[in-house]
A and B are shown apart, each in its own frame.
Chain A
Amino acid sequence: MMPRRSWGRDLRYLALYLVKRLLALLVTVLIGVYLTIVVANMGGQVDELRRVQIRSEAFEQVRADPAFQEMASAERNALVERRVALEVERLRLDEPFVLRSVDYLQRAMRLDLGRAEQMHSDAGSRRVSDIIVERLPATLLLFGTANLLVFFVAVGSALWLSRRYGGRVDRLVIALAPSSAAPGWFYGIFLILAFAFLVPLLPPGGMVAAPPPQGLAYAISLARHMLLPVAAMVLSSIFVSIYAWRTFFLIHASEDYVEMARAKGLPSRLIERRYILRPTLAPIITNFLLMLIGLWSGAIILEQVFNWPGLGSLLFQAIGFRDTPVIIGGVVIFAYLLAVTVLLLDLLYALLDPRVRILGEGRGGA
């Protein structure tokens, strides 16, 4: 028996469901980050790193304090050693890794990522979280734009193609689909070659012109710089996306209830909207978010190729500097981004799929 529709109750179940998923995801992230820490610590690199940090901090403190300025150097070194020993004990670095890994974990989960060894943010901060926060918007802008573009263009043209399947355009798309075997950075190299060097129309890399212009000119400059990387990403995934969606829609268009609607003589636009799109919305969204997940990690090289100041190129620079805190911090941030994406997926699922709400009721009643 279907329950009477009531928004309040729906909302309550939705909230309950989301809290459950949030907790589950938190546990998932916890395990994921813990695994990352274990991987990163296997050679004892992180410990070594922290000892070095403690020593340099202690030394800086002693050096900067005017009270110790008259001290003899041997005496001052002894003071530094004492402070280091205290700090090592305070941070439990003398304890076994198992105990301390829990400490690392809760620091990482609170996004307390520590201080960078060599790198600093453009504003001059040495805190890893500041460095990362500064780079995040650039990544979100570039990949958000490209993904949305690919998604909507692909679904739109797939719907259009599924009406004309077997035609010339359809066959062309099928023939072009294998071109997606190459990742975006690969096409990026050729786009740079073609449009920045052979025909110098667009800048080969970077995010804005230097010095950055103000106001509207800034937006125009940004758009010009975004054009090539976005084109590279679109090129590398558009044909296979259209192909996949077209096949998907074609399979759904041969379902019995769609045939039935057609037999009733409903207009094709209505059939498309109500009989094909609505029941397939959940898998469409899933696919979209899974694509997002895939592109997060593909970002590193594309950003590097286009010199885009995002998270990916940050990670690349961190490799160059062997700046371990930044590398680990980057991995943690990537894990969080993926988790947020999955949570978004759950939320949309709950909104779109009535079964989730009913399930919530069944569990709520139990």
Chain B
Amino acid sequence: MEAILKNKFFVIGGGIVLIISLLVLFAPLLTSYDYGAVDLPNKQLPPGAEHIMGTDLYGRDVWCRIIYGGRVSLTVALGSTAVALVVGTMLGALSGYVRGTLDFVLDRVNDVLMAFPMLLFSLVIGVVLGSSMKNMFLSIGIPIIPMFYRIARATAMSVGGRSYVLAARAMGGGRMRVILRHIIPNVLPHTLVILSSAIGGAILAEASLGFLGFGIPQPTPSWGLIANDGKTYMFSHPWTTAFAGAFIALTILGFNLLGDGLRDWLDPKIRTAAKR
């Protein structure tokens, strides 16, 4: 544990993620405004003492909307990554361990999933399902499944032939038992490495969908929707979009750095390479 705290990426990334999480968690304590309260006389104010990040085109406090919006954006990101992690890891482990026809079929399905650019896929799934929080988990989660599937499959293939797995099989352990007890625990450290950057990717996807106008319906703010709100007046009143975008970028940076740190720590090959 000490070793990882010496990793600069991990500490900086973790710090950013921690601070943003705290801001979002304690949002009610950090603002006296209501994120939906329209105040037209005070619309599109630049940052000042009253509104530290200014107000949007309906006079709503941008800082307030951003810290409350983080709740939506982070929930969507965590939920959709969880969907991808569970489905991708299970199917990947199954595919890599069982092999044969099942593996061939699942791998072709994976090829198909990977043929769609992520954002396009999310858009189309989102259109089919309609916009709600639960559906966002799926529309952003499904396109990330291949990330986890491929790693789980590759690891399961290499672990599957090891002697302790064969021993477990010889002692009469069923397939599911072997997968759950022996394959999955070996796969998880590898998926952990990409988990953090997957969350970053999910935040990016939510932001892009919101920016294109395909997020969770108003008035629930999410970072993407806040950026979208400010888009029309970006060139005369850039503050709304500028601050929302900066929060999105900072959070993604935090998760990416955290992921880099974890990878350095967990992957001995890269770790020694970095030391040299």
* A complexed with B: no
Where the two chains meet, the residues of A that have a C-beta atom closer than 8 Å to any C-beta of B are none
Where the two chains meet, the residues of B that have a C-beta atom closer than 8 Å to any C-beta of A are none
